[in-house]
Structure formats: C-alpha cells, structure tokens
Structure 1
Amino acid sequence: MNARQTLPVLLMLTASAAPLLAWAGEPVSACVSLGNDQEIVRAGNGDQFYLRDGQAHYRVAFRNSCDSITITPTVEISTNGQVGQLCPRDTKVKTKRDICRVQSIEQITAEEFTRKRNLARR
C-alpha cells in the first residue's frame, strides 16, 4: 500500500473512532462540590449511574457492583464524611441498604446524559 492509499484509510479509521472517544468522557481529576439541582439516572446492573448536577453531567462507576443503586429512593454522595463532595478518590455513595465505593468519575456531555436518561425510561 502506498502513501496515497494509506491516507484515506487512516482518515476513515480516525473518523470511525471519534464517536467512541466522545462516549468515553473526560476523567474528573479534582473534587466537585455538588449543588441542590441534581438528577440521577440509574442504568444497567448497578455498575454505574449518571448524574446531572446543574449544568454538569457525570458518569460515576463503582469499584464493585452496587445493586441497591437501581432501586433506592435516596442517594447520598460524600467524600471523607463531607456530604455533597464528589471526588476521584474516596467517594462513597450511600443508599438505603448499602454504602458503595466509587471507582471513577467521567464528565460527559448533556447529550450523552439525555440519551442515557431516555434509555432508562424505556
């Protein structure tokens, strides 16, 4: 394959990978103080949930599965005992039945959050 043939193939591969990169989100590297305007979308089997905090949107993944997140009426997010603090390390999510440890947090787009919310409502 010569250079003229390689370039279109590389461009096509890059374009096809772009949606995957957008889905992955940006890892959160600093703590976030959560406000009162929140919405939680419980999706899947308890491995993660989606959080809207004002105009910011996050995907929060658990270290281990947190089955109770899928059915709990209330959620309390805290880090080192400070309620309303979402951090990349030491954050816990308290449900009616469990306290679950957070593995990772990614900032996602509003569109991705809306997509997840719509899927969860089906």
Structure 2
Amino acid sequence: MNVRPLFSLALLGLATLAFTASASESATECVDLGSNQEIVRAGSGQQIFLRDGQTHYRIGFARACDSIQMTPSLKISTDGQDNRLCPSGTKVRTKQANCAVNAVEIISAEEFAKRKKLGSR
C-alpha cells in the first residue's frame, strides 16, 4: 500500500482546517474602536457585523435585539466606555434598548462583504 497519497490527503485536510479556523476566530481581548466604522444588520436581530477600519467582526447578542433593525444609530460600549468592544460585558445601545453582547468574532473582509451584500437585498 502506498502511503504517500494518504499522507498528502491528510496534510491537505489539516491545511483546510487551519484556513477555516482563521476565517472566524473569537476575540480574546478588548478593542478600542475607531471612527471609521460600518455596521451591517442581520435579519433576525441576533447579530450585527461591524467593520472597524481594516478589521471585521461578527457581534452576537444574548437575546434577540429587535430594535437593532430599526434604529438609525447605535452605540457600542463596555463598562460605560464608548467605542470599546470586549468579549464580555459589552452592550449595544439603540434608542429603544440595551442589547447584551455574548459573542465577538473576528471575521474576514470577504465574509463581511458577503453579509453586506445579503443585507442590501
């Protein structure tokens, strides 16, 4: 039995897993957001997508944040500090509600563009 094809296939599988893992990773530290932001709202109110400069995020909510779909503006803050995004303790404020964040993931620019395209339909 020739082991080379199996070994090559295993390496290809590992490379694919590494690429998939890097496409979306949980944020582990707080980030001070800049002024160059773009927000894409997802249909269900369970999440939003944020571009902050060259970095892109998926922000998930603990519960559905229905007001996120209707508000013209929102504020992200952690422990009272505006424009601070953390893996825990962050809130997104709309005019009607404060929505608790339970997930912050770093995503690719391609994923953000895909979500933006889907959101504009």
TM-score (norm 1): 0.84
Say if 2:81 is the partner of 1:82.
yes
14-23 vs 80-89, which moves further: 14-23
Q: Secondary structure at the match of 1:61?
A: strand
Following superposition, the deviation at residue 70 of structure 1 comes to: 1.0
Gaps of 5+ in 1: none
- Matches of 2:109 and 2:11, distance apart in 1: 27
Question: Deviation string for 1:18-59 (max 9, x for gaps)?
Answer: 786465x11000000000000000012100000000000000
Say if 2:15 is the partner of 1:44.
no
- Matches of 1:100 and 1:109, distance apart in 2: 24
Say if 2:66 is the partner of 1:70.
no
Following superposition, the deviation at residue 115 of structure 1 comes to: 0.5
What is residue 25 of structure 2 aligned with on the other side?
Answer: 26
Say if 2:96 is the partner of 1:118.
no
- Matches of 2:19 and 2:70, distance apart in 1: 31
Gaps of 5+ in 2: none
Match for 2:102: what amino acid? Q
Equivalent positions of 1:90-101 (< 5 A) are: 90-101=89-100
Say if 2:93 is the partner of 1:109.
no
What is residue 55 of structure 2 aligned with on the other side?
Answer: 56
- Matches of 1:19 and 1:35, distance apart in 2: 28
Root-mean-square deviation (CA), in Å?
Answer: 2.1
Percent identical among aligned pairs is 47
Runs of 4 or more consecutive aligned structure 1 residues displaced over 6 Å after TM superposition: 3-19
Q: Secondary structure at the match of 2:29?
A: coil
